[in-house]
């Protein structure tokens, strides 16, 4: 999930989660050996992080399907942890982190080309895993309701944020980032792949409802690569830019240090997503001490716990009003910044790794 040769250097939420576990599990008493599934045709070529698995996932899955009672992939490990649904039978206990049930719950927000495959793979992953990690109570309910997972086989281990984010970013580095992207500090920031469930089109509508002087002073900055069904949104962003609107679309940001600087320059962070198993960007904004507007749907209220302004993600007017509040109401800004900071201190990647290691040990003790 983090191998640059397989991801193009871009990490989604699962990639951020995977990278964080690799960094922090050793502090929790685990010796970690990273592996990556090679592509079917290129084999081991392009694998630069960890070791390649003995076969591609496609080949291993076919063998697993044809010889379910006999075949086991040998792994020289006490526990194998799959950070997504790519699982085959192994000769050691398997832990799987399943982040949500999006493909089966809201198929319209997923690519039809991959939707059925992902649903099938998630069902198989649940059957093959000895234990499942969910990243929120909301995700647990989704897995139980949509896939029939026995809740006794699920442990909730929330995502986190790197402790470095809790320290203020270097002001000179922030200024340099602002200059690189031709941004003026105080903008409205959103982070996420351009796809329907991220709800960026309604965020654009809400920002356009703000008074023109506010829009001229507070740019809308969208950080995210093209995703599924984003053509109309891309056209709208580009058209608004052509009309002179103060909008920046940054689709090439892959370095986490650079992303941290972009958070540090923001005045408001907006994350009105329609569906999230967790919502790591909200926690990143909390750590960066940026006041947050987020959705009252899916897992986001569980993550926020009142530290953000929570709005109906389908109500553009309510979203615009919340943006205006955090731009103009200094008291509410201060409240959200302080509450967000406290929430981020509770949810660090070190805490995630420690609780994940506890899951490993409990499984091995059975």
**Where are the domains positioned within the chain?**
4-160+349-365, 164-346
pLDDT of residue 42: 64
- Helices 200-208, 231-242: axis angle to 10 degrees equals 20
4-160+349-365: what CATH class?
alpha beta
In this prediction the pTM is: 0.92
Q: How far lies 99's CA from each of 14, 95, 171, 260, in Å?
A: 8, 13, 35, 24
Pick the CATH number of 164-346 from 3.40.50.2000, 3.30.930.10, 3.30.465.10, 3.40.47.10: 3.40.50.2000
pLDDT of residue 43: 57
- Tell me the backbone φ, ψ of residue 229, rounded to 5 degrees: 50, 50
Distance between CA atoms of residues 231 and 289, nearest Å: 33
pLDDT tens digit sequence for 131-150? 999 999 999 999 999 888 89
Confidence of residue 70 (pLDDT cuts 50, 70, 90): confident
pLDDT tens digit sequence for 181-210? 999 999 999 999 999 999 999 999 999 999
What mean pLDDT do residues 30-49 have?
82
Domains 4-160+349-365 and 164-346 equal at CATH topology level: yes
pLDDT for 38 beyond 80 = yes
Distance between CA atoms of residues 287 and 162, nearest Å: 9
pLDDT tens digit sequence for 235-280? 999 999 999 999 999 999 989 999 999 999 999 999 999 999 999 9
Q: How far lies 189's CA from each of 74, 226, 258, in Å?
A: 45, 17, 14
Residues 6+ apart with CB under 8 A from 279: 271, 273, 294, 298, 299, 300, 303
pLDDT for 45 beyond 70 = no
Residues 6+ apart with CB under 8 A from 96: 81, 82, 84, 85, 87, 125, 126, 128, 129, 131, 132, 133
């Amino acid at each position: 999930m983090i191998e640059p040769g397989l991801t193009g250097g871009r990490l989604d939420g699962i990639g951020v989660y995977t990278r964080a576990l690799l960094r922090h599990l050793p502090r929790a008493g685990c010796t970690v050996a990273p592996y990556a599934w090679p592509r079917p045709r290129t084999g081991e070529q392009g694998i630069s992080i960890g070791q390649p698995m003995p076969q591609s996932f496609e080949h291993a899955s076919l063998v697993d399907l044809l010889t379910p009672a006999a075949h086991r992939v040998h792994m020289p490990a006490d526990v194998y942890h799959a950070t997504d649904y790519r699982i085959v039978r192994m000769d050691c206990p398997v832990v799987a982190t399943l982040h949500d049930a999006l493909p089966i719950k809201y198929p319209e927000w997923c690519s039809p080309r991959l939707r059925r495959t992902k649903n099938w793979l998630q069902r198989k992953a649940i059957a093959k895993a000895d234990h499942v990690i969910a990243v929120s109570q909301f995700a647990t309910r989704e897995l139980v309701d949509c896939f029939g997972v026995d809740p006794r086989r699920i442990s909730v281990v929330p995502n986190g944020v790197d402790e470095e984010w809790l320290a203020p970013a270097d002001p000179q580095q922030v200024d340099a980032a602002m200059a690189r992207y031709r941004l003026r500090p105080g903008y409205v920031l959103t982070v996420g792949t351009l796809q329907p469930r991220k709800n960026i089109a309604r965020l654009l509508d809400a920002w356009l409802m703000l008074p023109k002087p506010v829009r001229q002073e507070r740019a809308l900055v969208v950080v995210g690569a093209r995703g599924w069904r984003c053509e109309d949104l891309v056209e709208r962003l580009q058209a608004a830019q052509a009309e002179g609107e103060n909008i920046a679309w940054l689709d090439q940001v892959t370095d986490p240090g650079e992303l941290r600087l972009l958070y540090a320059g923001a005045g408001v962070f907006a994350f009105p997503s329609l569906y999230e198993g967790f919502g790591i960007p909200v926690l990143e904004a909390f750590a960066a001490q940026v006041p947050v507007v987020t959705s009252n749907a899916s897992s986001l209220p569980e993550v926020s716990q009142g530290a953000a302004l929570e709005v109906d993600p389908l109500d553009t007017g309510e979203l615009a009003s919340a943006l205006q509040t955090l731009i103009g109401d200094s008291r509410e800004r201060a409240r959200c910044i302080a509450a967000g900071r406290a929430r981020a201190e509770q949810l660090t990647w070190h805490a995630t790794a420690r609780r994940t290691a506890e899951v490993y040990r409990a499984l091995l003790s059975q």
